[in-house]
Structure 1
Amino acid sequence: MTPHDAPRPGGVALFDLDGTLVDTNYLHTLAWWQALRQYDHHVPMVRIHRAIGMGADRLLDAVLGSDRGHAQDDAIADAHGTLYAEWYATLRPFEGAAALLRATAARGWRVVLASSAAEAEVAAVRERLGADDVIEAATSGGDVSATKPAPDIVEAALDTVGAEASDAVFVGDTVWDVEAARRAGMPCIGLLTGGIPRGDLEAAGAVLVCEDALTLLRTIDATPLSRPPR
């Protein structure tokens, strides 16, 4: 990630990856469940799923408690990465995901991916998504010291293209995406494809909740993505 020296014109549409553009949230849940079991932590999948969207550090705090010993954290995270990597070749974008990015770019938005996932995971998902022709920049969890729901990853994504929060809209699928966007000072559109209930996304502050990427694509001109600020 290389920030620009000065702000550049044009609205920025930030997109989360996992659960928003590509159908991965439940794969991450399973991989974390298996990784935790390797280290004798037996955590219900429902608790893990609720934490998906956080970075590994915050996710482990959420499912194991922040007052525990942290000696195993790196090993558990590495195990998750190894287990999840087994799915790389079969990852599937949601219907309409790549077309949504292209339609967003066609309306004058600069498209940036704002993900807290590991760099290798982001690269694998981007390859399956197949929309690099309109993606101007991307982040990964390694770009910041604090991951979602902290606003750092959203702010880092803006920095990659020299933009301000007042010129941006974020699209995500978890309450952590919505909270990160709100704390960064921008609206967030929520998608239901991550498995989070509509009411939870609305309660977190999503300005609009759509069923999926295809629904957002079909209604884009009636949403905050209709055209960027001038």
Structure 2
Amino acid sequence: MTDDPTTAVLFDIDGTLADSNYPHVDAWWRAFHAAGQPVDAWRIHRCIGMDSSSLLDELVGSADSDVAKQAKEFHTAYYREHFQELHILPGVHDLLEEVARRGHKVVLATSAPEAELAILRELLQIEDTIEVVTSGGDVEQAKPDPGIIQLALERSGADPDHAIMVGDSKWDVIAAGRAGVAAIGVLSGGISEAELREAGAVAVFDDPAAILAGIDDSPIGQLGA
């Protein structure tokens, strides 16, 4: 008789657990203007959830340019102005507690840099529930590269067939798919259900509260069954 396999649910944070995507859009929009290379807000929103280097490559041509370096510094300063406005999304605490109650490891798998992650963890107040944390600083390139997901699996001890990723952007879904992990999408980051499903999401919910309400019939409810 063998032990049951380790199961894990990996959660993105920005736009998934915290209502923070639009503050990021505002901060980047202001940052690009301040750096002298304006970028339309809708283009920025399309890239939220990417590794910051990938975002800068996409929006200003190169993450190594002087404009990109200035914009990154401005973004940090402007995003800090939003800290008091950030809040968690409905159902977060109850969902994570229910995931843990069902015997799954709760993992934070985010592209956020360490400084932003510290703020988000303080906001979430879920340290007793979290078992594993990874961030953009743990890998050379974050989402949509699968490295963050693969590291989260390694640290949690779960294999791809016994894990679920929950994220709000197509970059979360694509990264999970490249790591062989099924993904649930949430609409709370502002990306449509159609686009999340096209990226490979096996289910889509409005927000964490909606996942909790339908958890028995969700991929999380079937995890380890």
TM-score by length of 2: 0.94
Task: Report the Cα distance in structure 1 between the residues aligned to 2:214 and 2:42, rounded to whole angstroms.
Answer: 31
Q: Are 2:21 and 2:189, in contact at CA under 8 Å, matched by a contact in 1?
A: yes
Whether 1:182 aligns to 2:177 is yes
Aligned to 1:146: 141
From 195, 198, 219, the counterpart of 1:224: 219
From 83, 89, 108, the counterpart of 1:88: 83
Give a deviation string over 1:105-144, Cα, whole Å, max 9, x none. Answer: 1111100000001111111111111111111121111101
Match of 1:92, SS?
A: coil
Match of 1:42, SS?
A: coil
Aligned to 2:50: 54
Q: Are 1:11 and 1:167, in contact at CA under 8 Å, matched by a contact in 2?
A: yes
Offset of 1:227 from its aligned partner?
4.8
Whether 1:18 aligns to 2:19 is no
Aligned to 2:117: 122
The count of aligned residue pairs is: 222
Match of 2:106, SS?
A: strand
Match of 2:164, SS?
A: strand
Runs of 4+ in 1 over 4 A off after TM superposition: none
Unaligned runs of 5+ in 2: none
Q: Return closer, same or farther for 1:173/1:95 CA change in 2, 3 Å cut-off.
A: same
Whether 1:63 aligns to 2:59 is yes
Q: Tell which deviates more after alignment, 184-193 or 69-78.
A: 69-78
AA aligned to 2:216 is D
Percent identity over paired residues: 44
Unaligned runs of 5+ in 1: 1-7
Q: Are 1:107 and 1:227, in contact at CA under 8 Å, matched by a contact in 2?
A: no
AA aligned to 2:209 is L
Task: Report the Cα distance in structure 2 between the residues aligned to 1:54 and 1:223, rounded to whole angstroms.
Answer: 26
Q: Are 1:112 and 1:157, in contact at CA under 8 Å, matched by a contact in 2?
A: yes
Give a deviation string over 1:137-183, Cα, whole Å, max 9, x none. Answer: 21111101111111011111122223321221000000000000000
AA aligned to 1:228 is L
Q: Return closer, same or farther for 1:199/1:70 CA change in 2, 3 Å cut-off.
A: same
Offset of 1:69 from its aligned partner?
6.0
